[in-house]
Copies of this chain bind each other. A is one copy, B any other.
């Protein structure tokens, strides 16, 4: 049973009959165009194929299924040629894009259409690339989702509002397919929320009882069409429990704010500076030009770099409270909030124990006369108090040592071309306003909902 609130939300997020008609018509025309080429078979996949798209969604995915006997390079060639000819036939502006292999993206009647070539394999175990699996997903859901479409819409909207919709590297949340599987498995939006409210640290779901592999991920959902794949591999521990928190909150006291996607406007430069002063911390960012790679490649590298630079700061005695990174069109930013950003001239350097006589002698020879104090003996070990190389974290991050840490490959290349170290309000720009606001005003998604409720009433 759906509540009046849920019905109200559905009325708002369900596509209109007119929208449905239009999209179905465009989809059918495209499929027909693929079929009539005689080279491949057209198929609509994604949420539009199974009536689980939210009003206003513009993504239409049309797959072109080629015969598996076609060599890979010919598939790419013929796939692109067919897609281009269709785009020209529809007079649609189009560009070539890349995932595992190239495809064509075009704009048609206000829709964002992808024309993706793939192989028509008889069994998902025989796929040659990840896109070959998509038609199987689409069929699996389409054959079972009838009667649960509205529940999928509610859950997708709930996930979008809660910030856990999307399996991309930046979001680390739930893909559309995962949303559908979850609703299917628990038979509805509310039963899913009730189950999630009780989730433990690790959750294992194997709807078809076919699992052939174990996973360490916080959420494991065995792909019904591929027993060796975790559909929820993208879901981070944090994102999982942000969902769990929202589920508990919604069950306890539902409100329309669980389905709102409009957040607070980002902080202005002045307001951002004001929050920093209140916190009393120093926030330092490393900014550099975004190299020409897609987020799926660059974001993991940014995360790796963040970890490396955090380690550098900590090895030098600077204490990090928070750290995060973001990739924008023009620049990337790696951001640190420091509890301690200035340190005294003296640094403690722990040497070998004296019972390792030759090591101890070497340590003494190296340090005698070069220290601020010591070497002296503490608990049987030599300790030398030496001059600290970097008294201020700003100097460390500006130094070549930053470039010499274990940065991601393309991040290192980009930073080799130069980087800026920015501080406090200096980090702020239009480009990063939203990211910086989220960074300093961080709160759990349920808390955000409750705040909006209070502000709204």
- Residue numbers of A with Cβ under 8 A of B are 197-201, 218, 237-238, 240-242, 244-245, 248, 278-282, 317, 319, 321, 339-340, 343-346, 348, 353-355, 357, 360-361, 364, 368, 372-380, 382, 385, 391, 440-444, 446-447, 450
Contacts and interface: CB of A to CB of B under 8 A. Distances in A.
A346 B238 contact: no
Contacts of A348: 321
B281 A375 contact: no
B346 A279 contact: yes
Contacts of A353: 201, 241
Given A279-B372, A339-B317, A340-B340, A380 B444 contact: no
B279 A345 contact: yes
Contacts of A446: 364
Number of identical monomers bound together in the oligomeric complex? 2
B374 A443 contact: yes
Contact of A380 (B241, B355, B361): B241
B199 A444 contact: no
B379 A443 contact: no
Contacts of A201: 353, 355, 380
A247 to B, nearest CB: 11
Contacts of A440: 373
A379 B172 CA distance: 12
B373 A281 contact: no
Given A240-B380, A279-B385, A282-B344, 5 more contacts: A201-B353, A245-B354, A279-B346, A319-B340, A376-B442
Contact of A242 (B319, B344, B377): B377
A444 B371 CA distance: 12
B444 A377 contact: yes
Contacts of A340: 319, 340, 343
A200 B355 contact: yes
A442 B379 contact: no
The 7 closest A-B pairs by CB, nearest first: A280-B344, A280-B345, A241-B354, A281-B344, A237-B380, A376-B442, A279-B346
Contact of A241 (B361, B364, B377): B377
A448 to B, nearest CB: 10
B218 A380 contact: yes
Nearest to A376: B442
Contacts of A281: 344-346
Contact of A442 (B238, B280, B282, B373): B373
Contacts of A385: 279, 321
B278 A345 contact: yes
A238 B380 contact: yes
Contacts of A354: 241, 244-245
25 contacts: A197-B357, A198-B357, A199-B355, A201-B355, A242-B377, A244-B354, A244-B355, A245-B360, A245-B377, A279-B345, A279-B346, A279-B372, A279-B373, A279-B385, A280-B345, A281-B345, A282-B344, A321-B385, A339-B344, A364-B446, A373-B443, A374-B447, A375-B444, A376-B442, A376-B443
